[in-house]
Chain A
Amino acid sequence: MTVDIPVIALINVTKTYGSGEAEVNAMDGVDLTVKAGEFVALMGPSGSGKSTAMNMIGCLDSPTSGDYLFNGVHVGSLDPDQRALLRRNYLGFVFQGFNLLPRTSALDNVELPLIYKGLSAAERRAQALDALEKVGLKGREHHDPSELSGGQQQRVAIARALVGSPEVILADEPTGNLDTKRSLEIMELLRALNETDGITIIMVTHEDEMAAFAHRVIWMVDGKVDRSGTPHSVLTPERQQA
């Protein structure tokens, strides 16, 4: 299998915002790899660069220096349209604020990525209904986001992320706006997608409880990877030092 080539490989990546005295290194020589099928939690204090790293991995941002390889392909050498194609065909996004289109039914929201894939209306509908069923929203297809609870909205967002059969789902604090019960449900859902569908999941989170669902936790501090390992090893004893 593709064990040798990681899905995601950041090699000595830096990202600098501003210039002169206002210069900020959001990422300062990050080396990070994620293998296919992994479930990784990206953690760290505010300003540690984990969100920047997430945007980088999502091809929404490009490095100031260093390389980003997606399945061995240099993302830095791709033009914006090629990056859009990469997002369309390989990546799925789940955001803290759900980011659903308002006044648009759950079904239409989930169909959105498929429109850009150029699928026919019938195919889109079938696949979107499948995805909604998978996240447990069968029967709510025609509800607007405003008619759904937070947990349900996040499920719609997950359905939208997985409908394009991505290799990787990027979840940026997916439970940040939810209570614990809903959060755990969402985490179960992500874990199921990881285990049964083999989708690689990279998740930014602040909560140890959620990070515990991951195979591996990457702890970032000051734009650098501080340590990486199982949730247990990273999160327990030395936490206070960070």
Chain B
Amino acid sequence: MIKETIKLAIQAIFRNAMRSILTVLGIVIGVAAVITMMTVGQGSSDQVTADVEKLGTNVLIVIPGGGQMGPGNTSVAAAFELRDVDAIIDQLTSVRTAAPFNQTSLNAVYGQQDTRTSVVGTDGQYLEVVDWPIVLGRSFLATEESAGRAVCIVGETVRQNLFGNTDPIGETIRLKNVSCDIVGLLEAKGASSFGTDQDDVVLMPVKAFQRRVVGSSDVSMIYVAASDGVSTDRTLVDIEVLMRERRRIGDGEEDDFQVRDMKQLASMLTGVTNVLTGLLSSVAAVSLLVGGIGIMNIMLVSVTERTREIGIRLAVGATANQVLLQFLVEAIVLSMIGGVVGILFGLALAAVASNLMSIPFSPDPAIVVLALLFSAAVGVIFGFFPARRAARLNPIDALRHQ
């Protein structure tokens, strides 16, 4: 009987093919939107995790400021100094190396060329910490670092913007009022998880940066690489203890700095991605609801239009429940067809989007099954009311209809 009912439903749906297509369009769009959002969201989460792993899971960053920011917390934590970096390297065995990191945004000028870029004051250790090779030229010399010579290492984007494909080594660029000799070119890295271009950067020795660019001896951030075979958790605690001591924070007082490892950063970033994915998906889910109402609307029209048919069925011996089932199954089949088409459409869209955003295409079978069940549920919920109306028709009135 149920097999018959499904067959009947499919016949009824195809008898009104055009109308059926328009009816399920809402479901198709809703399901496709949800599937696309979820799949792309999953893909970008995977991408963030992969990026962070590439960066090195043993990397930690130390930044000034407490955990709580906002109204009521007005004290500004002091920045670090170069001595703090030295102390971290010299005193902690769990630390392989560390580097200061100061950053500002400046125009870099070469001849007629001019480009806004990120200027970073650091030292050669930074490239060790983040594992970033130099493809042309060399890193800073120890003498350049200690003397604060105005030399710099440029990223691929800066090179392209100022020099095109020519060799930039030995050329001089101007940053603000500082003339800076290029000694090295960094390997191209591409976009970060944030979508920023990591190659749009100029590195210079931190002392030169402090003295000639910003005019202060502050260090705003410290990059730390944990020793091989040492857990980042232990390194994190070591740094925390050392920095509390150096910054004279008494027992029971809160830290005025934070140590973060990349795993935390990764989970924070994927957290953001997940919230966004959830948000967009729920917006998409609203369109599923609208699609469901569309199905209800058309089923109600269909019941009215087929009143006579219902009368005939009742006259030849269909029970009210059989009529109810027929219309319910029709609504469910209709919305599930919409669901399947929506899933295919959504996966295709997600594949294209993933390709364009160069993130991995990660379809989740659970989401696909969920979408299918959800569209069936839409059919049940929005099909029930019209089906019940059909089942409650009085056979004589139904037969006399129009």
Which chain A residues have a beta carbon within 8 Å of chain B's beta carbons? 55, 58, 60-61, 80-81, 84-85, 87-89, 91, 93, 95, 99-101, 103, 112-113, 115-118, 160, 164
A99 to B396, CA, bound (A): 12
Q: With A84-B314, A112-B313 as given contacts, are A103 and B15 in contact (CB-CB < 8 Å)?
A: yes
Known: A81-B321, A116-B322, A118-B1. A87 touches B396 (CB 8 A): no
Contact A61 B396 (CB under 8 A): yes
How far does the Cβ of B113 sit from chain A's closest Cβ, in whole Å? 73
Could you tell me the distance between the alpha carbons of A89 and B319 in the complex, rounded to whole angstroms? 12
Say yes or no: B396 contacts A60, CB within 8 Å. yes
- Closest A residue to B399 by beta carbon equals A99
Q: Which of B1, B15, B315 is within 8 Å of A93, CB to CB?
A: B315
26 A-B pairs within 8 Å (CB atoms) are namely A60-B396, A61-B396, A80-B319, A81-B321, A84-B317, A84-B318, A87-B315, A87-B316, A88-B316, A88-B317, A93-B315, A95-B399, A99-B311, A99-B312, A99-B315, A101-B312, A112-B312, A113-B316, A113-B317, A115-B1, A115-B8, A116-B313, A116-B317, A116-B318, A164-B316, A164-B317
Determine whether B64 belongs to the interface, using a CB cutoff of 8 Å to chain A. Answer: no
C-alpha spacing A151/B314, complex, angstroms: 24
| Complex-state Cα separation, A99 to B401, whole angstroms | 11
Task: Tell me which residues across on chain A come within 8 A of B8, comparing CB atoms.
Answer: 115
Known: A88-B316, A93-B315. 19 other contacts (CB 8 A): A60-B315, A60-B396, A60-B399, A80-B320, A84-B318, A84-B319, A85-B319, A89-B317, A91-B317, A93-B316, A99-B311, A99-B315, A100-B312, A101-B309, A112-B312, A115-B1, A115-B4, A116-B318, A118-B1
How many pairs of A and B residues are in contact by the CB < 8 Å rule?
Answer: 59
Residues of chain B with a CB closer than 8 A to A95's CB: 399
Q: How far is the CA of A112 from the CA of B323 in the complex (A)?
A: 13
**A164 to B316, alpha carbons, bound, how many Å?**
9
Complex Cα spacing A96 to B228, Å: 93
Q: Determine whether B395 belongs to the interface, using a CB cutoff of 8 Å to chain A.
A: yes
What separation, in Å, do the CA atoms of A99 and B395 have in the docked complex? 13
In the complex, which of the residues B309, B314, B395 has the most CB atoms of chain A within 10 Å of its own CB atom?
Answer: B395
* Set of chain A residues within 8 Å of B314, measured between Cβ atoms: 60, 84
Binary interface profile of B, 319-348, with partner A (CB < 8 Å = 1, else 0)? Answer: 111100000000000000000000000000
Residues of chain B with a CB closer than 8 A to A81's CB: 319-321
CA–CA, A184 to B297, complex, Å? 46
Minimal Cβ-Cβ distance residue in B for A161: B316
Question: Smallest Cβ distance from A51 to chain B, in angstroms?
Answer: 9
Closest to B318 in A: A116
Q: Mark B1-40, 1 if CB is under 8 A from A, else 0.
A: 1001000100000010000000000000000000000000
In the bound assembly, the distance between CA atoms of A118 and B1 in angstroms comes to 6
Residue of B nearest to A58 (CB): B315
Question: Which residue, A91, A115, A117, A160, has most C-beta atoms of chain B within 10 A?
Answer: A115
Cα distance A160–B1 in the bound complex, in angstroms? 19
**How big is the B interface, by class?**
20 to 34
Residues of A within 8 A of B395 (CB): 60
The yes or no answer to B138 lying at the interface (CB within 8 A) is: no
Closest to B311 in A: A99
B96 in the interface (beta carbon within 8 A):
no
Using A95-B399, A115-B4 as known contacts, say yes or no to A87 and B317 having CB atoms under 8 A apart: yes
Question: What is the CB-to-nearest-CB distance from B117 to chain A, in angstroms, rounded to a whole number?
Answer: 70
Residue on B nearest A108 in the bound complex, by CB = B11
Chain A residues, Cβ within 8 Å of B399: 60, 95, 99
CA distance A95 to B316 in the complex (A): 12
- Knowing A55-B396, A95-B399, A103-B15, the reply to whether A116 touches B320 (Cβ < 8 A) is no
**Residue from A84, A87, A101 within 8 A of B320 (CB atoms):** A84
How far is B318's CA from A80's CA once the two chains are assembled, in angstroms? 10
| B residues whose Cβ falls under 8 Å from a Cβ of A | 1, 4, 8, 15, 308-309, 311-322, 395-396, 399
Tell me how far the C-beta of A91 lies from the nearest C-beta in chain B, rounded to whole angstroms.
8
Which residues of the partner chain A approach B1 to less than 8 Å between Cβ atoms? 115, 118
Name which of B4, B314, B317, B395 has the most chain A CB atoms within 10 A of its CB.
Answer: B317
CA distance A24 to B312 in the complex (A): 27
* Chain B: minimal CB distance from A29 (Å): 21
Q: Whole-angstrom distance between the alpha carbons of A74 and B321 in the complex?
A: 23
- Give the docked Cα–Cα distance between A85 and B318 (Å): 8
In the complex with contacts A55-B396, A118-B1, A85-B317 CB distance below 8 A: yes
Residues of A within 8 A of B315 (CB): 58, 60, 87, 93, 99
Contacts of B308 in A (CB 8 A): 99
Q: Which residues of A contact B309 (CB under 8 A)?
A: 101
B-side contacts of A118, CB under 8 Å = 1
**CB-based nearest A residue for B8:** A115
A112 close to B316 (CB less than 8 A):
yes
Q: Within the complex, what minimum Cβ distance (angstroms) separates B323 from chain A?
A: 10
The 7 closest A-B pairs by CB, nearest first: A88-B317, A113-B316, A84-B319, A87-B317, A60-B395, A81-B319, A60-B396
Chain A residue at minimal CB-CB distance from B4: A115
Q: What distance in Å separates the Cβ of B396 from its nearest Cβ neighbour in chain A?
A: 5
Q: Which residues of B contact A116 (CB under 8 A)?
A: 313, 316-319, 322
Q: Report how far A45 CA is from B360 CA in the complex, Å.
A: 80
In the complex, A81→B399 CA distance in Å? Answer: 18
B residues in contact with A115, CB < 8 Å? 1, 4, 8
With both beta carbons as reference points, the residue of chain B lying nearest to A82 in the complex is identified as B319
Query: Which residues on the B side are within 8 Å of A87 (C-beta)?
Result: 315-317
Q: B321 contacts which chain A residues (CB < 8 A)?
A: 81
B208 CB to nearest A CB, Å: 85
| A112 proximity list for chain B (CB < 8 A) | 312-313, 316
B250–chain A nearest beta-carbon distance, Å: 83
Residue numbers in A under 8 Å from B322 (CB-CB): 116
CA distance A9 to B239 in the complex (A): 101
Contact A160 B316 (CB under 8 A): yes
